[in-house]
Amino acid sequence: MSEPIRLAKRVAELCGCSRADAERLVEAGWVSVDGEVIDRPQHKVSTEVVTIDADASLEPPEPATLLLHKPPGCDTISGASPASALALPGSRWAEDASGIRLLKRHFGGLTPLVPLDREASGLMVLTQDGRVWRRLTEDGDEIEHEYIVETRGEIAPWGLRRLNHGLSHEGRVLPPCKVSWQNEIRLRFAIKGCQGGQLRDMCRQVGLDVVAIRRIRIGRIALGKMPEGSWRYLPVGERF
């Protein structure tokens, strides 16, 4: 039996490249061991079949951004039940069309962004990418979010008009937004700078109780048909 050696050394032998370049290939997810992508250069191999992807490049891998369908009862930013715990390799949406290779390094250093009420569900963002962080924090109030809000009760006279413009929240006069009925019990909100508890308070002010809230879009990125508890990658080049 062959003496185990570091994967990077085996790759260097196979490719005829330097050890440093071999490590970059491994870390970028271009190397498989017995059919499984391994991104740790120090991984030991002996008789296993080591394969280098035909499209392998020495360009460093892009930092990952994960789009998660948060279920109700999970915390987005902080709390005892973080939704980020659902971002696991096995919970990737089977219909993820991003084309991004799943790497173990994608699950470290993820920062949760764009708060969502604990009892709400829908689209949330976890990222390693400083560009995404800056876009969703520094420019966050300029990005429109879309919500489906299930309600019960009888809306007050002129209530829909007031939801669109004419309410305050925690002493702040709210700017205009776009609110319409999706059906008899569900409202669709397209709104910027929405704060925690704001949607429930807005509905309460026009005589409606909120049963459920689901965020279906952040900027240009939609939740789509991804099921609760699943995630997909934000494709390289797509922007909020």
Question: Could you report the per-residue pLDDT of 18-60, keeping only the tens digit for each?
Answer: 999 889 888 888 899 998 888 889 999 998 899 998 888 888 7
On whether the CB atoms of residues 86 and 75 are closer than 8 A, the answer is: no
Is the predicted pLDDT of residue 176 greater than 90, yes or no?
A: yes
- Same domain? For 121 and 227 the reply is yes
- Domain-embedded: residue 24: yes
Average confidence (pLDDT) over 113-132: 96
Same domain, 20 and 69: no
Question: Would 238 be classed as within a structural domain?
Answer: no
Domain tally, the chain: 3
Q: Is 57 contained in some domain? A: no
Please tell me whether residues 159 and 182 are part of one structural domain: yes
Residues 116 and 228 in one domain: yes
- Per-residue pLDDT, averaged over 188-195, amounts to 96
Q: What is the mean pLDDT of residues 47-74?
A: 90
Q: Which long-range contacts (CB under 8 A, 24 or more apart) does 85-90 make?
A: 86/229, 86/231, 87/126, 87/231
- C-alpha to C-alpha distance for 238 and 240, rounded to whole angstroms: 7
The enclosing domain of 84 has a CATH number of 3.30.70.580
Summarised one tens digit per residue, pLDDT across range 149-167 is: 999 999 999 999 999 999 9
Q: 229 and 119 share a domain?
A: yes
pLDDT at 29: 83
Is 42 inside a domain boundary?
Answer: yes
* Mean per-residue pLDDT, 225-232: 97
**Nearest partner of 227 among 64, 35, 68, 62, judged by Cα:** 68
Same domain? For 208 and 229 the reply is no
- Give the domain range for residue 173: 144-218
Give the C-alpha distances (Å, rounded to integers) separating 90 from 8, 102, 126, 230.
Answer: 26, 10, 16, 9
Question: Mean pLDDT over residues 67-88, rounded?
Answer: 94
**103 domain-assigned:** yes
Q: What is the CATH number of the domain that holds 37?
A: 3.10.290.10
- 39 and 134, same structural domain? no
Is 240 inside any structural domain? Answer: no
C-alpha 199: how far from its chain's center? Answer: 22
Is residue 85 domain-shared with residue 133, that is, in the same domain?
yes
| pTM for this prediction | 0.84
pLDDT of residue 103: 86
Mean pLDDT along residues 209-220: 98
Q: Reduce the DSSP state of residue 203 to 3 states and report it.
A: helix
pLDDT > 60? residue 76: yes
Helices (H), 139-206: 159-164, 198-205
Q: Are residues 34 and 153 in the same domain?
A: no
Residues 47 and 76 in one domain: no
Q: Is residue 239 part of a domain?
A: no
* Domain CATH for 166: 3.30.70.1560
Asked whether residue 1 carries a pLDDT value surpassing 60, the answer given is no
- Do residues 39 and 100 both lie within one domain? no
Q: How confident is the model at residue 61 (pLDDT cuts 50, 70, 90)?
A: confident
- 130 shares its domain with 157: no
Note whether residue 58 is domain-resident.
no
